[in-house]
Amino acid sequence: MSKGGSRFGAGRPGYRVKAEHLQRVDVRDWARRGYLAGGCSFTWGWHRGGESTGSMGVDVHSPLAVTLRYSITGDGKRTDVAERLTLVRTPCPYGSARPWFICPRCPRRVAMLYLRGGYFACRHCMRVAYSSQSEDEIGRMWRVQQKIEVKLGEYWQRPKGMRQATYRRLKNRLWKAEERRERAFEALATKLLGLA
């Protein structure tokens, strides 16, 4: 079996750590909640499956700097970390400004930082990929179909209030996704059976 997925030849190699499996902080979420005011302190936590998987304290020193306070446990030792992060703001077209983290390991301006190896950094520095980057064509088409089915509702019926044109467009996208998935499956079966 190859590294890319559960089927032979499925997708790109899956050797990179996935972003969905790491703790992360999103500056956009903090800005929406109003946490980035100078002099503010708050606790931020992560949950998976309804259970807490970790937390940290955040001190906002000014509109342009925050300090993350968290503990790392490893080799029977507990290490307390205080990591200072720089924020920058870019102006928006209709006023206000959008906040960004400056990655502590490189000069990139990013919205999210990931915790790996005891410190936070951007996705590129941490060599982190999204799960969807390791999917093959069949997996991508299943994901497309699931998104459309959520919009359509049970038994692919037109939800109340949805325009007929929108409903037809979604149904056409659904049929095209099924056709692409079937063609990808035929190509995979042909390759596996050595019929090509």
Question: What gap in Å lies between CA 190 and CA 32, rounded to an integer?
Answer: 51
pLDDT above 90 covers a percentage of the chain that reads 34
Residue 144 contacts by C-beta under 8 Å, 6 or more apart in sequence? 173, 177
Q: What is the pLDDT of residue 12?
A: 53
Token pair belonging to 26: 């999103």
Q: What is the pTM of this model?
A: 0.67
Phi, psi of 14 (to 5 degrees): -100, 40
Sorted by where each begins, the domain ranges of the chain are 21-129, 136-193
pLDDT digits (tens, 9 = 90+) for 123-181: 888 888 877 777 778 888 888 998 999 999 788 889 989 999 999 999 999 999 999 99
Beta bridge pairs of residue 134:
none
pLDDT tops 90 at residue 87: yes
